[in-house]
Structure 1
Amino acid sequence: MSDFSNTTLTMTRQFNVEPERVFDAWLNPEIMSKWFFTLENTNKVTQNNPEVGGTWEIVDHREGMDYRAIGEYLEIDPPKKIVFTFKMPQFSELEDTITVELKKIQEGCEMTFTHVIHTPHEENWTEADIERALRAKHDDTEQGWNYMFMGLKELAETGNNSYKG
């Protein structure tokens, strides 16, 4: 048995703007600092080098703690697709993979988001334990992205993010 298992989260969202606007929100550090694993009032660091092989980093300060998220870009195809790794080193050295696909639709664009989530196993876990952990990680991750996507939608469509976490 391996030391981790995977689950895949896929979400679809529609935006009333052109795909370029949503694409930019994923890569522009000024916009990222307002929604991507952070909020404007809790963001400490937003660094981004949006090119294949380039890295990104977000540090968010919440409840007296810093949360650091990092990754590397694997594919960038403006304004259609971004593929990157995601890791929070303070919790795990496992790297997830995230794919963002955008397509133009009649009333704006549709984003298909796919997150391959790696979940580490603990010693002596049974198959049932692994399934419970995967389900919990999937559901927690989905809830987090739902909140982030509310901010992303508002930012892309209005330029503002009133969501405060």
Structure 2
Amino acid sequence: MSTPATASIHKRFAASAARVYDAWLDPDWLARWMFGPAVRDEKIVRLTTDPRVGGEFSFVVDRGGALVDHVGTYLALERPHRLVFTWATRDSLPATSQVTVLIEPLGDAACQLTLHHAMAPEWAAFTERAASSWQKMADALERALAT
């Protein structure tokens, strides 16, 4: 078996682990930090989640007239410490990657998030770009949590 290519980021938040965790599962919160103008030049079309193990999500955005549907299945949901889900775009299915989000509480009002995005080995050249995108989203989440 080949070793996956992995993009990783770390981010400290001045918010509780539960608050950061919940922002990953609520479509209203996802619209504030993961997609849309807070992160990149795109319009949100539809964000849906079924936050349970085995539940699926679909995040559809319009990027310059092209609809992109980010899809996945929740593999682990351990509030407020760990989320694991598959990640792909609808047009790349059945190939998927896997994202693991670990949230470590640092007292009542702070936490440390570590994200690992494991992709097929042939995506090794993409890991730096993926890490940059996740970092941009984490920075947008920090701004959203501060408001």
What TM bracket, shorter-length normalisation?
0.7 to 0.9
Partner of 1:116: 118
Structure with greater Cα Rg: 1
CA distance in 2, matches of 1:59, 1:78: 25
User: How far is the alpha carbon of 1:35 from its aligned partner?
Assistant: 2.2
Residue 93 of structure 1 aligns to a residue in which SS? Answer: coil
Q: When the two structures are aligned, how many residues end up with a matched partner? A: 142
User: How far is the alpha carbon of 1:34 from its aligned partner?
Assistant: 2.4
Is 81-90 or 91-100 further displaced after alignment? Answer: 91-100
Structure 1 unaligned spans of 5+: 121-132, 159-165
User: How far is the alpha carbon of 1:119 from its aligned partner?
Assistant: 5.0
Indicate whether 1:39 and 2:36 are aligned.
yes
Aligned partner of 1:28 among 23, 26, 29? 26
Residue 139 of structure 2 aligns to a residue in which SS? Answer: helix
Regions of 4+ moved over 4 Å: none
Is 48-57 or 146-155 further displaced after alignment? Answer: 146-155
Overall identity of the aligned pairs, in %: 24
Residue 84 of structure 1 aligns to a residue in which SS? Answer: strand
Letter in 2 for 1:114: H
Indicate whether 1:62 and 2:51 are aligned.
no
Partner of 1:89: 90
Q: Which string of whole-angstrom CA distances, capped at 9 and with x for unpartnered residues, describes residues 40-65 of structure 1?
A: 67100100000000001100111111
Aligned partner of 1:139 among 110, 120, 128? 128
8 Å CA contact 1:15, 1:157 repeated in 2: no
CA distance in 1, matches of 2:32, 2:57: 15
Indicate whether 1:12 and 2:13 are aligned.
no
TM-score (norm. length: structure 2): 0.87
Q: Which string of whole-angstrom CA distances, capped at 9 and with x for unpartnered residues, describes residues 52-110 of structure 1?
A: 00001100111111111000001101111111100112245311111111111146000
TM-score (norm. length: structure 1): 0.78
Partner of 1:124: none
Aligned CA RMSD, in angstroms, stands at 1.9
CA distance in 2, matches of 1:119, 1:33: 30
Partner of 1:128: none
